Structures are given as structure tokens and as C-alpha cells.
Amino acid sequence: MTVNEPVLDTFEDTPARDRDPRWFKRAVFYEVLVRSFQDSNGDGVGDLKGLTAKLDYLQWLGVDCLWLPPFFKSPLRDGGYDV
């Protein structure tokens, strides 16, 4: 995956017989705290542009799926998961 490829991979072009509904059993998940991962503009805070700049590196590491906790501003009820 490169920065120019879609970040969300779907099964749209995959025949149903070739889809593995248990893909997650062998997948490598990587949780990314966007705010602290990669700063693209030098303001000291990580951002989505910084994350997308590192997609090739994450693929090289063997990451299959990115887990992004909430990163939108929220009233901070439920640890930010209220958005």
C-alpha cells in the first residue's frame, strides 16, 4: 500500500468464494494514536497526513489493519468514544 492507494481496502473486486471471513485471526493489527504518531507540519502534534506518509513503512512491518482510536474533538464522555 502506498500513499496514493486507497486506505480502506474492501472486498468489492474479490469473488465471494475467495473471501476469508476469518481473515482477522491471522492479521497483524496496529493501534495508532494519531496525535502522537507522526507530525507532518512541525506543530508537535501528530496528524492524519503524518500517518498516511508512513503507510509504506507500516506495510513493510507487516501491518494488515490499522486501529485508530477516536481522534475527533469530543466532550470527553466515555474516553472520547462518544463522538
Neighbours of 2 (CB within 10 A): 8
Buried b (16+ CB within 10 A) or exposed e, 58-76: beeeebeeeeeeebeeeee
User: For the chain, which residues make up each domain, given as ranges?
Assistant: 26-73
For residue 16, what pLDDT is reported? 63
Q: What is the pLDDT of residue 11?
A: 54
Could you tell me the mean pLDDT of each successive run of 10 residues in the chain, 83 residues long?
A: 51 68 90 93 94 96 90 73 67
